[in-house]
Amino acid sequence: MKVGQKYTIDKQAFLAVLDSLRKGAKLIGPTPGPDGDVVFREVASVAEFTFDYVNEFDPVKRFLIPHRQDLFRFTLGKRPTFEPLVDSSPQVLCGIRSCDVKGILHWDKFFSGTYLDNYYLEKRANTTIISVACNKPLDTCFCICCDGGPWLEAGFDLQLTDFGDRYLIHVGSKKGIAILEKIKKGLVAATQEDLQRRKELMAKCDSQMVPTAYVAKAIIQITNNRVREELWEEMGFECFSCGGCTHVCPVCTCYDVADYMESPTCGVRLRCWDSCQYSGFTREASGHNPREKTKERIKRRFYHKLSYAYVKLDGHQGCVGCGRCITVCEAIGLLDLPAVVKRLRREGQPEPEQLGAQRHSS
């Protein structure tokens, strides 16, 4: 068995293998939520899973760095002591979508860059990703504009394609191979008919995408500084600075660090999710705030997501096309990524009358 190979297996037989993984790890997957939505959580049995979903509103990045994470416990005194609180317990993230896998790949690079984040890296090394390719998108999905799905060629340990009563399994890593080697019977190599069926499902899903995001054009506009300050100002007035867009984004990594004192001499250093859209995010110890105005924070957010400088640094734009920002943004239809991209793509372009004059003069 090798990475890149594809197999098929009866769905119930594969779920039985998944169930067996609970003996050595937390099994986390999609379950029915209280309001008819889907919630990813640890399960006691695969029978708790639901398969009638596209994506969860809250991205699975919270299973790698929770909303609040205790980093270490300290004691003050003549000889201060520090007790690291690293969580490296094994977990299996099952059923996540390709856009969230791409988000995790971005986190892998961010937390292993100039400064190694051992809290993230320990958890990540003990996390297995079993993703499910999308056969049908939501009406807010635009992953095909961002290379975020609906299928991937790498980044997962196993990638499943739902064939109804069977799964087509794409092997992505040695971790994935180790899981499949537990299967005693029923696992067969995918046939040409299976691969053709997968290709047809991919084409059908692509054709059902509704939103469009002209990401490449927006990268050109921002990188060449063609966006008018008046447009950023306009967006600043429209933004509620609620931070929802950053919290639901699988790519965003903003966090804050603080000390919580449990007694005059003992405390905990913790970090918690933060947002570059909050007014205090960039406030410095001196009190100076380089991005006090909402306009500056909006500008910074989309520069980070769409400028060529960051595309070159990260190897991709800062969006995976999950569409969650469309759902969460309180400035409905104005400041989600596809909406902003549409507004940016016209910046710096000749007006229609100018185009007409150019044609007459040529």
Q: Calculate the average pLDDT of the chain.
A: 92
Q: Which 3 state secondary structure label does DSSP give 7?
A: strand
d(CA 5, CA 2) in angstroms, rounded, equals 6
Residue 360 has pLDDT above 70, yes or no: no
**pLDDT per position as a tens digit, 33-46:** 988 889 999 999 99
pLDDT at 36: 84
**pLDDT per position as a tens digit, 239-261:** 999 999 999 999 999 999 999 99
Residue 355 has pLDDT above 90, yes or no: no
- Band (pLDDT 50/70/90 cuts) for residue 362 is very low
- Band (pLDDT 50/70/90 cuts) for residue 195 is very high
For 145-149, what is the mean pLDDT? 90
Find the helix or strand (DSSP H, E) in which 100 lies: helix 98-110
**pLDDT per position as a tens digit, 281-296:** 999 999 999 999 999 9
- Band (pLDDT 50/70/90 cuts) for residue 210 is confident
